[in-house]
A and B are shown apart, each in its own frame.
Chain A
Amino acid sequence: MRLVTEIIRPIEGITVHIVPTDKFKTLTFAVQFRGRLKRETVTKRALLAYVLKSATAKSPSTQLLQQRLDDLYGASLTSQIHKRGEDHILSFLLHTAGDRFLSETSTLAADSLELLAEAILAPHAKDGAFDEETVNKEKRALRQRLESIIDDKMQYANIRLIDEMCRGEAYALHTYGYKEDLEAISPVDLYDYYQQMIKEDEIDLYVIGDVDPDRIVGIIEKAFAFRGRQPVAHPFRFVPVEVGAPKTIRESHDVEQGKLNLGYRTNIVIGDPLYYAAQVFNGLFGGFPHSKLFMNVREKASLAYYAASRYDSYKGLILVMSGIEFSNFDKTVAIIRQQLESVQSGDFDDVAVDQTKALLKNAVLEALDSPFSLIEQLYRSVLVKSADDLDRWLTEIDRVSRDDIVRVAQQTVLDTIYFLHGKEGDPHGNPTV
């Protein structure tokens, strides 16, 4: 049984993916731009995420554009930026209520798609430059966002770990760019980069909802007049990294709780024969509440409220995060390292493996119930040009053996420990090392 029906059609140098389904009360459209992560372009790309959704030639202010969206039954136009291995993905999403629940408005799908196309292809710009006022406003919005990252200590610690661990690799570049690069971007520079992106990025458009595919294709062909596209292919690439002795980085902030992050390299990425085993290994190690990290750091030792790991399958990393008392640094690091060693030596039971497989499969199936996570899942196979569909994914997870899991664990090497702790003389104690 195929779990998802996806109709794929190339149109005007972009790829259109349509999933007709009546299970949602909404229509969801997403346009994904794929380019390489580069220091020269990350900040421009992030700024485009802000500028394009804030005004169009026809609705030249945020307020006017927002009024049109509100009139489309509160349609939302948002942008997102993600890092996938060495790729920088910029997405524009339009999400709206489905036509069939709103008696008077059968043109909602067409109106929404046209508005999305307008934001991307008919921006508020003239004579080769974006409108200066719009650019300045959105520079401020992006700057505020970049400045506030440090106030979210969990997110900040995650970013700092990657900064230190992957220094010099494209992957270490910040998804939302750099404050120091922002000011110098002129409305002309940004427009030049925008034109390059429209011409050269690989572009995928997703449509999820109760739609007639032929009708939607007709609307897209008319609305999305991409011309003269010359997409530059970005085949998925991964360069394994040798790990030396683990680094320990400490940083002091005005906080009550220490944030402890550990970065491991598996050098196993999506497409690798051990990819599915790496998923199971991560689940066993720290992905779920039955996992070793939760059981030992939280339940047994009472050291933390959260202790979990995440597998970045585009970069082959396992990232552990926890929040602890400053004085418990040594103890917690030792317990986390022991958990990896126990998997390396095969010290885990079959029940835990079965639990992990059950939850991994569950997570993949659950993702089909939200249009956003569905798009993310489908887009994964575009990014890595893999023929593995969801059905295959489910069978492969089941096939993972104990030996495979041990092999992944043995290939998993600690690269960097990052610890954000309090100031000197803080009542909660100081790190002991």
Chain B
Amino acid sequence: MEIQRFDRLQETVYREVLPNGLTVCVLPKKGFQRTYATFATKYGSIDNHFKSLTSKNWVRVPDGIAHFLEHKLFEQPDGTDVFHAFSRQGAEANAYTTFTRTTYLFSSTANVEKNVETLIDFVQTPAFTDQSVEKEKGIIGQEIRMYNDTPDWRVYFGLIENMYHAHPVKIDIAGTIESIAQITKESLYECYHTFYHPGNMVLFIVGPVDPERMIHLVAENQARKNYTKQAPVERRYPEEPAGVAKAKSVLKMGVETPKSMVGFKAARVHRSGQDYLKHELSVQILLELLFGKSSDNYRRLIDEKLIDESFSFEYTEEHEYGFSAIGGNTEDPDRLAARLFEMIMAQKERPIPEEALERARKKRLGSFLKALNSPEYIANQYTRYLFNGANLFDIVAVLEDLRAEELEAVLHEHFDERAFTQCQVVRRA
């Protein structure tokens, strides 16, 4: 068992890789009532082309299948829903799928050991029938329609779609009503057996627990199952040309208030470890300097009546892709996009102000500390960083080391004209 102590933050992570390849992490939280656990596989919507471990062939699977699989795993071999077992044990369970991960989770203040076992066992016991697969199509169909009616969702995913020529990050995570129609029991099993091997998964437990006891419990559980060590899954992603696929798109919806988002596609990806963490933090700090609530730009945009409290910005990076997204509600989508672009380009002509950098650094450190109140944040982000070869708790050290010259380099690389795109949602006439 590896023990990682982060003295200044007063947190400790206990980590062990089991013989079958499963990584188990425990972070004890003294004084907390509840235990929160996630069981995540490094498998998301972008992993749609891979070497199948059942047929040994390279296969392309329908859009939305990772998310569909997430829904179907809740069904038990006896036809019941695992929610019932969790409810009996006083746990709230849930799951979600992103571009790169599928995560199953529970939160409970009682029966923690039982709930941990239930979490692992249900994910490791697939039971799909033709009938139940068909039935799920109606439910997920409504989930897709719900997102289609959500303008914030549409503008955000529309922006990503603009950026990418070929990479599957441009495809909706839940797929479309047409694409999920092609999903079968067999295709679900093929994905399951390829991506749900313990070697591709991480279990993270946060709560008032004894770490050694937890790790022992999980080890025993896994020893009872017949997993043999497996080589990493082979995945293929299409060659992605530099620059954006589309510089602008306009979506018409039944909205009262239009929306405008702009973003830049990361020029270079495939970073890992500290390098990855540093790059992600650098772009985030730059965005804070450019558009944070204490910035001159934010004040100007408010004064020009181009933004309101819905305005936000973010930068996300994963091994295969990365992008910034900036914007929100606005009465004048074209003007807002143009102003955001101008402001970013103007910053490239000026040095980064030291005082503002110190302030942004302090703010980010404070927000990281605040986030450590949240077991959700810790478990999900720790796992995300682990899948990218980095450590969540290194954020503090990397943050303290960031230098203005390094930020300038990132500023010039990321905010490149050819990587710029915008997406708008406007009123349907």
Interchain Cβ contacts under 8 Å between A and B, 6 examples: A25-B370, A66-B293, A67-B359, A70-B294, A137-B302, A153-B150
Using Cβ atoms and an 8 Å threshold, which residues of chain A touch B135? 302
A95 touches B302 (CB 8 A): no
Residue from A3, A70, A144, A305 in contact with B309 in the complex, judged by beta carbons closer than 8 Å: A144
Does B350 interact with chain A (Cβ within 8 Å)? Answer: no
CB distance from B197 to the nearest CB of A (A): 28
Taking the closest CB of chain B, its distance from the CB of A1, in whole angstroms, is 12
The verdict on B138 contacting chain A, using a C-beta distance below 8 Å, is yes
Are A62 and B364 interface neighbours, CB within 8 A? no
Interface size on A, residues (CB 8 A): 71
Question: Which one of B10, B110, B139, B142 has the greatest number of beta carbons of chain A within 10 Å?
Answer: B142
Indicate if the CB atoms of A70 and B292 lie closer than 8 Å: yes
Interface string of A244-279 (1 = CB under 8 A from B): 000000000111110000000000000000000000
- Does residue B366 face the partner (Cβ distance < 8 Å to A)? yes
Q: Is B9 an interface position by the 8 A CB rule?
A: yes
Stretch at the interface among B58-66, B253-261, B266-274, B404-412: B253-261
Give 19 A-B pairs besides A144-B310, A289-B87, A355-B87 with Cβ atoms closer than 8 angstroms. Answer: A24-B373, A25-B9, A25-B373, A74-B366, A95-B370, A140-B305, A145-B308, A152-B150, A256-B145, A288-B87, A289-B93, A305-B142, A306-B146, A351-B84, A362-B34, A362-B91, A363-B92, A365-B109, A370-B374
Q: Are B256 and A305 touching (Cβ within 8 A)?
A: no
Least CB distance, B79 to chain A, in whole angstroms: 11
Q: Which residues of B contact A288 (CB under 8 A)?
A: 83, 87, 92
B360 proximity list for chain A (CB < 8 A): 70
> Is B363 positioned at the interface, with any CB of A under 8 Å from its CB?
yes
One of B24-32, B163-171, B241-249, B336-344 at the interface: B24-32
Q: Is the CB of A365 within 8 A of B33?
A: yes
Interface residue B348 (Cβ < 8 Å from any Cβ of A): no
Beta-carbon contact of B298 and A323 below 8 Å: no
Cβ contact within 8 Å between B87 and A290: yes
Binary flags per residue of A286-303, CB closer than 8 Å to B gives 1, else 0? 001110001100110011
Contacts A63-B294, A150-B256 hold; do A74 and B365 have CB atoms under 8 A apart? yes
Instruction: Using CB atoms, name the residue of chain A closest to B303.
Output: A137
| A148 B366 Cβ-Cβ under 8 A | no
Tell me, yes or no, whether A368 is within 8 Å of chain B by CB: yes
Q: Which partner residue on chain A sits nearest B8 by CB separation?
A: A101
> Once the chains are docked, how many angstroms separate the CA of A50 from the CA of B93?
36
A25 smallest CB distance to B (angstroms):
5
A241 to B144 alpha-carbon distance, docked (Å) = 38
Q: Which 6 A-B pairs have the closest CB atoms?
A: A254-B254, A73-B366, A23-B31, A74-B366, A302-B138, A74-B363
In the bound complex, residues from chain A placing their C-beta under 8 Å from that of B363 are: 70, 73-74
**Is the pair B308, A140 in contact by a Cβ cutoff of 8 Å?**
yes
Enumerate chain A interface residues (CB-CB to B < 8 A): 3, 21-26, 61-63, 66-67, 69-75, 95-98, 101-102, 137, 140-141, 144-145, 147-148, 150-153, 253-257, 288-290, 294-295, 298-299, 302-306, 323-325, 351, 354-356, 358-359, 361-363, 365-366, 368-371
Residues of A contacting B150 in the complex (Cβ-Cβ under 8 angstroms): 152-153
Expressed in whole angstroms, the Cα–Cα distance for A62 and B87 within the complex equals 46
User: Which residues from chain A contact B83 at a C-beta distance below 8 Å?
Assistant: 288-290, 294
- Chain B nearest Cβ from A297, distance in angstroms: 10
Interface contact B310-A70, CB-CB below 8 Å: no
Q: Mark B296-312, 1 if CB is under 8 A from A, else 0.
A: 10110010010011100
Q: CA of A369 to CA of B374 in the docked complex: distance in angstroms?
A: 8
CB contacts (< 8 Å) of A26 on chain B: these are 369-370, 373
Asked if B324 is at the interface of the complex by the 8 Å CB criterion, the answer is no
Contact status A141-B309, CB under 8 Å: yes
Q: Min CB distance, A145 to chain B, in Å?
A: 7
**CB-CB contacts of B27-44 with A at 8 A, as 1s and 0s?**
001111110000000000
Q: Known contacts being A62-B302, A144-B308, A289-B81, is A73 close to B149, with CB within 8 Å?
A: no
Contacts of B87 in A (CB 8 A): 288-290, 355-356, 358-359
Q: In the complex, A359 Cα to B115 Cα: how many Å? A: 13
B126 to A: closest C-beta gap in Å: 18
Best-surrounded residue of B8, B33, B298, B360 (most CB of chain A within 10 A)? B33
Q: Please state if B310 and A148 are interface contacts (CB–CB under 8 Å).
A: yes
- Docked Cα-Cα span, A63 to B364, in Å, equals 18
B388 smallest CB distance to A (angstroms): 24
A420–B309 alpha-carbon span in the complex (Å): 27
Contact A358-B110, Cβ < 8 Å, known A73-B365, A290-B84, A365-B33: yes
Please name all residues of chain B whose beta carbon is closer than 8 Å to the beta carbon of A24 when the two chains form the complex.
Answer: 373
Which B residues lie within 8 Å of A22 (CB)?
Answer: 31
Contact status A255-B299, CB under 8 Å: no
Known: A70-B363, A369-B32. A305 touches B140 (CB 8 A): yes
Contact among B109, B140, B308 with A362 in the assembled complex (CB-CB below 8 Å)? B109
- Is B97 close to A, CB under 8 A? no
Residues of B within 8 A of A369 (CB): 32-34, 375
Closest-CB distance, B241 to chain A (whole angstroms): 33
Q: Are B367 and A62 in contact (CB under 8 A)?
A: no
Asked whether any CB of chain A lies closer than 8 Å to the CB of B108, the reply is yes
Q: Do the beta carbons of B149 and A355 come within 8 Å of each other?
A: no
A144 to B305, alpha carbons, bound, how many Å? 10
Contact A255 B254 (CB under 8 A): yes
In the complex, which residues of chain B have a beta carbon less than 8 angstroms from the beta carbon of A371? 373
Does B240 belong to the interface (CB within 8 Å)? no
A359 and B369 in contact (CB under 8 A), knowing A62-B299, A302-B139, A303-B138? no
